[in-house]
Amino acid sequence: MNIFKYFGEVFGAIRSLWAGMRVTGYYSIRPGKVVTQQYPENRKKLVIADRFKGEVIMKHDSNNQHTCNGCGICELNCPNGSIEIISNKITNAEGKSERIIDKHIYHLSMCTFCSLCIKTCPSNSITWGQDFEHAMFDRNKLTKVLNQPGSSIRKEIKEVKETKEA
Amino acid sequence: MEEVFQDIIIKHSDDYIINMGPQHPSTHGVLRFELCLLGETVKYIIPHCGYIHRGIEKMCEKNTYQQIIHLTDRFDYLSAHMNNEAVCLAVENALEVEVPERVKYIRTILAELNRIASHQLWWCAFGMDLGALTTFFYGLRDREYILDIFEESFGSRLLHSFNYPGGLMHDLHPNFQQKVKDFIKYFRKKLPEYDQLLTGNIIFQQRSIGMGYMSKEDAISYGVTGPSGRGSGFKCDVRKHHPYSAYSKVDFKEILYTEGDTFARYKARIDEMWESMNIIEQLIDNIPAGDYTAKMKPIIKLPVGDYFQRVETARGELGCYIVSDGNKNPLRVKFRTPNFSNLFIINKIASGNKIADLVAISGSLDLVIPDIDR
């Protein structure tokens, strides 16, 4: 009786190992079922989701105009202080004092990608960009100015607000 | 009283002490076990934590309620959605806001998807701890499908601050329902492979059955919750006993094993994956139409008082306790994280075993170290 139990255990063990080996063998002879991607080589046909949180960018149109009026709500809402807004006050042609954004500074190195700035932006002027290759040799290169040089504010901000609500 | 004092460790000057960690591959993070050895046998284990303490509870006191959400991702990063949900539910209960039905359904589906992803990664790492490297590739292959769904719908794969007090950040991606259905169909075929690869394996069974016995009384007195506690017969499923979100509308059973050993904890997690798929299948076709967020003020101020909400994460019971003094920042926030309680039973269940078995036992508790230290 004892010897039967012994050999029973041995054959049970071999059967259990065989069950596992069958799974790995199934995939080793079917290379079409392999899902691994070769990343740096497939960079050209890489599909990134539209909503992927790569970095914060400011939307500019073809006339190099954006909708940011420098209200500073994104700066207030950022939990880590990764957004700094430097704005100037000028008097426009009608004689009213107006706030104009000088620099929208974004520290990517401090950002935790919580998307509070984008959710609370009243003029819908910043959004997520899909660039994800952020490795740099110098940390200072991760500090970016989001408004492009020479850009100006679009006058139809009100229209943008209405479309956002609708 | 006598039982309590049994756990007190008496150190002797001639003990042979060796450190396991803080940089040890099988502790899955920066956790240090101070082991007293007798040959290869472990006499006692003293866990030392705090290597990745970031002071999240203190940081919460400076932030507004919306800003707390993204910090909660960072303690148990594998069940980020449930952590977010705990704070959101606490704030919503305090303000007595009724969130739309759509939000409740989506939150439940996402929590269960996140639970499956978390258990898949645990399965990978647990197999790898016991020397079965193959499991790591097969588990990560299936986890990728869930992460792709997450990436498409809310932009990030791991730390998705998708919850927001009052609802969700934004609406789901139009492809979400179809992709989840495809995943369930796919994973129902692939989960039996897990059993063939590891569960039935004779080497794995001999290393896990009867190893690290935890009695139901121990689990209750140490507060071991989640699948680790349910492996010992401790009925502690918050989803079942104190339902939140849409859990009261679904029919699911609480996984219970009474053996209390490493294999029972393993089986509890595998069965939870099946049960999570059942929950998702019941909800995915019935997501009601409607708004994805309730109307909230831009600055949230909770009324004076203290609020508590608990949720079931992939590792156990997470409690969120908020004390408010009426300002826009909380006065004090305390998180009862599951892994902190799950860790300290390790001396009780693993002392007396070999070092290699300690690796298996600590792997079966499914520890995530940032959740211990927060």
Question: For B216-253, how does the pLDDT look when each residue is reduced to its tens digit (9 = 90+)?
Answer: 888 888 888 888 888 888 888 888 888 888 888 888 88
**Considering chain B, what is the average pLDDT of its residues?**
86
Q: Are A51 and B154 in contact (CB under 8 A)?
A: yes
Taking residues B198-215, report their average pLDDT.
85
Average pLDDT score over residue span B295-302 = 83
Q: Which of A51, A71, A76, A164 to mutate to test the interface with B (most CBs of B within 10 A)?
A: A51
Q: What mean pLDDT do residues A140-151 have?
A: 83
Would you place residue A163 in the very low, low, confident or very high pLDDT band (cuts 50, 70, 90)?
A: low
Helix (H) or strand (E) holding A28: helix A2-28
Residue among B59, B71, B175, B197 with most chain A CBs within 10 A, to mutate? B197
A24 touches chain B (CB under 8 A): yes
B235-245, pLDDT tens digit by residue? Answer: 888 888 888 88
Partner residue facing B152 (CB), from A12, A51, A120: A51
Residues of chain B positioned with their CB less than 8 A from the CB of A120: 298
Chain B within 8 Å of A77 (Cβ-Cβ)? yes
Amino acid B132: pLDDT: 81
What pLDDT, on a 0 to 100 scale, did the predictor assign at position A166? 47
Put simply, the answer to whether B152 touches A35 (Cβ < 8 Å) is no
pLDDT at B12 over 60: yes
Q: First vs last Cα of chain B: how many Å apart?
A: 31
Query: pLDDT tens digits for B103-118?
Result: 889 989 999 999 999 9
pLDDT given at position B7: 61
What's the distance, CA A30 to chain centroid?
A: 35
Q: How does pLDDT run across A91-140, given as a tens digit for each residue?
A: 777 777 777 788 888 888 888 888 888 888 888 888 888 888 888 898 88
- A64 and chain B in contact, CB less than 8 A: no
Q: Which residues of B touch A20 (CB under 8 A)?
A: 134, 196-198, 200-201
Does B198 sit within 8 Å of A51, measured CB to CB? no
pLDDT band with cut points at 50, 70 and 90 for residue A165 = low
Contact A24 B159 (CB under 8 A): no
Chain B residues whose C-beta is within 8 A of a chain A C-beta are 63, 66-67, 69-71, 134, 138, 141, 144, 148, 151-156, 159, 161, 164, 169-170, 173, 193, 196-198, 200-203, 205, 298
B34-54: average pLDDT: 86
Query: What does pTM read for this prediction?
Result: 0.87
Across the interface, whether the CB atoms of B202 and A13 are under 8 A apart is answered yes
The predicted structure's pLDDT at residue B1: 40
Give the mutation candidate from A46, A83, A113, A124 for the B interface (greatest B CB count, under 10 A): A113
The verdict on A46 touching B (C-beta cutoff 8 Å) is: no
Instruction: Provide mean pLDDT across the span B257-267.
Output: 89
pLDDT digits (tens, 9 = 90+) for B55-92: 888 888 888 888 888 888 888 888 888 898 888 899 88
At B278, which amino acid appears?
N
Rounded distance between C-alpha atoms, residue B227 and residue B66, angstroms: 30
Q: Which structural domains are found in chain B, ordered by start?
A: 58-345 (1.10.645.10)
pLDDT recorded at residue A149: 81
Checking if the pLDDT of A157 tops 60, the result is no
pLDDT at A66: 81
In this prediction, residue B353 carries a pLDDT of 85
Is the pLDDT score of B296 beyond 70?
Answer: yes
At residue A160 the predicted structure's pLDDT band, cuts being 50, 70 and 90, is: low
Q: In this structure, what are the phi and psi dihedrals at residue A31, rounded to the nearest 5 degrees?
A: -65, -20
Q: What value does the mean pLDDT take over residues B10-22?
A: 81
**Residue A72: is it exposed, middle or buried by C-beta count within 10 angstroms (0-12/13-18/19+)?**
middle
Residue B3 pLDDT > 60: no
Cα(A117)–Cα(A46) distance, rounded to whole angstroms?
28
Q: Tell me, what's the pLDDT at A23?
A: 84
Q: Which residues make Cβ contacts (< 8 Å) with residue A149, sequence separation at least 6?
A: none
> Does pLDDT of B288 surpass 70?
yes
Cα separation, B285 vs B287, whole angstroms: 6
Chain A closest-CA separation from residue B260 CA (Å): 24
B183-190 CB contacts, 8 Å cutoff, 24+ apart? B183/B145, B183/B146, B183/B149, B184/B277, B184/B280, B184/B281, B184/B284, B186/B142, B186/B145, B187/B116, B187/B142, B187/B145, B187/B273, B187/B277, B188/B277, B190/B142
Collect all residues with Cβ–Cβ distance below 8 Å to B238 and sequence separation of at least 6.
B244, B310, B311, B312, B317
CA angle, B170 then B171 then B174, to 5°: 140
DSSP assigned state of A153:
E
User: Among A90, A63, A78, which Cα is nearest to A126's?
Assistant: A78
Please name the residue of chain B whose CA is at the shortest distance from the CA of residue A10.
B202
Asked if A115 has any chain B CB less than 8 Å from its own CB, the reply is yes
All residues of chain B having their beta carbon less than 8 Å from the beta carbon of residue A77 are 66-67
Residues of A in contact with B144 (CB under 8 A): 35
Residues B374, B369: Cα–Cα separation, whole Å: 8
Chain A positions in Cβ-Cβ contact with residue B174 (cut-off 8 Å): none
Return the residue matching tokens 């110098």.
A138
**DSSP code for A148:** P
d(Cα A52, Cα A131) in Å, to the nearest integer? 9
Tokens representing residue A95 in the block:
């004689």
Nearest neighbour of A51 by CB, restricted to B154, B196, B200: B154
Q: Compute the nearest-CA separation of A135 from chain B (Å).
A: 18
A52, B155: Cβ pair inside 8 Å? Answer: yes
